[in-house]
Chain A
Amino acid sequence: MARKIPEINSGSMADISFLLLTFFLLTSSINTDMGISRKLPPPIDPTVKPPEIKKRNIFTVLVNANDQLLVNGNLGDISTLKSETVEFLSNPANNPNLPEKSIKYIDLLGNLEVSKGVISLQNDRGTSYEMYVKVQNELTAAVNELRDQLSKDKFGKKFEDLKSDAKKEAIQKAIPVSISEAEPKNIGGKK
């Protein structure tokens, strides 16, 4: 005798899937961490001498305990830091006081002048984190601006909008983030 198998009511399936959908939507978008990424240098080997860098290739940014800036020996301001950095890194007029350039071959871009400039950032123990992030932000903004420029020239798109990793890598090679953080100094002698 055939037994009748009852049908499972599937009317509420739509609700279930909607619930799951909202669940995944919520959990995937909330709580994304944003920030400025940096790479720390490995610990110093005391036996290896630091490489000498010509003075014209260094852009020093000092931040003191009162959150004041000293840019290349002159009092600086956070609002002009970005344009100064851009000028330093690009050196459009080949000014002999600004960094040298070397010609490098980069895939997809061909031979390109790459700046040898290094930004040296040094802060005091008393510098506020807010100021430090502001400075890092301005420096990153300068690098990003140059990358956008180059990317628009070569690929017709902003750096952020580049789809292929190879293109991104090429631009990153052409304009590296060369921020070196000085070894911390204990200026006040206070822990």
Chain B
Amino acid sequence: MARFKKKGKKDVPAINTGSMSDIIFMFLFFFMVITNMREATLFVRVLPPQATEIQKLEKKALASSIYIGQPIKTSMYGTEPRIQLNDQFAEVSDIQEFVEKERAARNEMDRPLLSTTLKADGEVKMGILTDIKQELREVGAFKITYATRRGKKKE
């Protein structure tokens, strides 16, 4: 079987590392895109009010967000403030189910630490927020955070 015999010595060619940086760049962009995608695309306009006494949210992974605000496409959805859960509009009655789902998605140990962040526009009336708070109380999600922007401290 002379055909398969190696002919003399043969060096393994050096691996070309020139394209390594391109690969890393691709990784970089991939991760950047992925991390942005987790955030829901907003259908409602949310500009939270300013506050000075704010805390950082401790565990972001354990917080679920509820967005409340005027729809961006006012011609389609009107100007009445709406609730957004994940990627769609929702009603107040959908909140309990939403919280249950969020709870089911977490493991047993994290469940008591779950919190809800209310991201509401400054112009929204409290009526809708009160309804949401009542729903959250009923479903047992007591930890809430009112999302705010950092405001200037007045002396």
Residues of A within 8 A of B (CB): 1, 3-12, 15-16, 19-20, 23, 26-27, 31-43, 123-130, 132-134, 136-137, 140-141, 144, 184, 191
Contact = CB atoms under 8 A, between A and B. Distances in A.
25 contacts: A1-B9, A5-B12, A6-B11, A9-B17, A10-B17, A26-B32, A34-B55, A35-B51, A35-B148, A37-B115, A39-B144, A40-B137, A40-B143, A42-B137, A127-B125, A129-B68, A129-B122, A129-B123, A130-B49, A132-B126, A133-B122, A133-B148, A134-B51, A140-B53, A191-B127
> Which of A9, A125, A129, A140 counts the most B-chain CB atoms under 10 A from its CB?
A129
Nearest to B63: A33
A35 B14 contact: no
Given A36-B145, A36-B146, A36-B148, A129 B120 contact: yes
B46 to A, nearest CB: 10
A33 B144 contact: no
Given A15-B21, A15-B24, A39 B142 contact: yes
A3 B12 contact: yes
Contact of B14 (A1, A7, A32, A133): A7
A148 to B, nearest CB: 11
B74 interface: no
B52 A141 contact: yes
Contact of B54 (A5, A34, A126): A34
A125 B11 contact: no
A63 B122 CA distance: 15
Nearest to A4: B11
Given A123-B126, A126-B125, A137-B52, A34 B148 contact: yes
Interface of B: 9, 11-15, 17, 20-21, 24-25, 28, 31-32, 35, 39, 48-49, 51-57, 60, 63, 68, 115, 117, 120-127, 129-130, 133-134, 136-138, 140-150
B126 A125 contact: yes
Given A37-B144, A130-B123, A137 B51 contact: yes
Contacts of A144: 53
A127 B123 CA distance: 9
B123 A34 contact: no
A38 B39 contact: no
B117 A33 contact: yes
Given A9-B17, A130-B123, A23 B32 contact: yes
Contact of A34 (B9, B122, B127, B149): B149
A61 to B, nearest CB: 13
Contacts of A127: 125-126
Contacts of A5: 12
B39 A31 contact: yes
A184 B123 contact: no
Contacts of A11: 17
A42 B11 CA distance: 75
A42 B142 contact: yes
Contact of A134 (B24, B49, B68): B49
Nearest to B153: A141
B151 to A, nearest CB: 8
